[in-house]
Chains A and B, each alone.
Chain A
């Protein structure tokens, strides 16, 4: 069962960065967008690794040793509206590292994938 936790000190206006591997063509949106698979790690209840833009040193640092070629950003308030929490986790990923908590159904992942915008220059 998923444990939903959220850190209310993370502002709804915070920008959330997620490193992603795959961009897919979306004819409905007429652009490329990340796959929903980019918002899944161990399973729908598992945490997803992200970064808080205001606390990470820079996107260059976030992407420095990343295996993923792309970076997307989402609004924290939008993520919470989906019923997904955000907690800080600097110990495992460095400054600004955080986790998305709670159940991330395919429907929720689809909404995140559609809302995500590419961060220049890490875009397809």
Chain B
């Protein structure tokens, strides 16, 4: 399955699903299968394999399964916004920004596939000056953000009824579990 997304710069993004016999039947079953393979993904930080390859006029995103894209609220909008950051102008702000790499995009897509449910609300997507990608939600009385800024680090921030928490996801992988339930409509 291929999804073509037109970029604001007139280029085309290509989205490919890498069919895999052990991953089929939509995102819910993919997450179930994934959990079966990695019983506690947050204990090991084993994330779904996502590949991002940049071609002359396109970006191909390889996913570990055949996704039912129409059933996933956040996916189409979010993946196109994230991938399009690869084509930001070199000087997109006045602070001498670093280039966003495919590895950073892969890392962010993988963590979103791991933690979000099909009915989660799509996040806002913004670039960061240090070559990162940040997703953020300001809904249901909470503020929640995740930033991928190099291939090995993911930082989070959560502000809710019990105060603020922030840190590196790899140092506290269980932290995300308690936050993602807030990312639903009419929670």
Q: Which residues of A contact B (CB under 8 A)?
A: 19, 21-22, 24-29, 33, 35-37, 40-43, 49, 66-68, 105-107, 110
Q: Which B100-145 residues have a C-beta within 8 angstroms of A?
A: 124, 126-130, 132, 134, 136, 138-143, 145
B66 contacts the other chain (CB 8 A): no
Pairwise interchain contact A28-B95, C-beta atoms closer than 8 A: no
* Closest A residue, CB atoms, query B137: A27
B49 contacts the other chain (CB 8 A): no
A26 to B123, CA, bound (A): 11
User: Which one of A28, A35, A43, A67 contacts B94 once the chains associate, using CB atoms below 8 Å?
Assistant: A67
Mostly helix, strand, loop or mixed at chain B's interface? Answer: strand
Interface size range of chain B in the complex: 20 to 34
Pairwise interchain contact B159-A25, C-beta atoms closer than 8 A: no
Residues of B within 8 A of A33 (CB): 138
Pairwise interchain contact A37-B139, C-beta atoms closer than 8 A: no
Interface flags for B50-92 (1: CB within 8 Å of A; 0: not) read: 0000000000000000000000000000000000000000011
Pairwise interchain contact B159-A110, C-beta atoms closer than 8 A: yes
B43 contacts the other chain (CB 8 A): no
Query: Which of A37, A43, A67 has most B Cβ within 10 Å?
Result: A37
Residues of A within 8 A of B136 (CB): 24, 35-36
A26 to B142, CA, bound (A): 10
Pairwise interchain contact A37-B127, C-beta atoms closer than 8 A: yes
Pairwise interchain contact B94-A40, C-beta atoms closer than 8 A: no
Pairwise interchain contact A67-B129, C-beta atoms closer than 8 A: no
Residues of B within 8 A of A27 (CB): 138-140
What are 30 of the A-B contact pairs (CB < 8 Å)? Answer: A21-B93, A21-B126, A21-B127, A22-B126, A24-B138, A25-B138, A26-B138, A28-B138, A28-B140, A28-B142, A29-B138, A35-B134, A35-B136, A36-B157, A37-B127, A37-B129, A37-B132, A40-B128, A41-B129, A41-B130, A49-B94, A66-B94, A67-B91, A67-B92, A67-B94, A68-B93, A105-B166, A107-B157, A110-B143, A110-B157
Residues of B within 8 A of A21 (CB): 92-93, 126-127
Residues of B within 8 A of A106 (CB): 145, 155, 157, 166
Min distance, Cβ B21 to any Cβ of chain A, angstroms: 40
Min distance, Cβ A61 to any Cβ of chain B, angstroms: 14
A24 to B145, CA, bound (A): 12
A25 to B92, CA, bound (A): 21
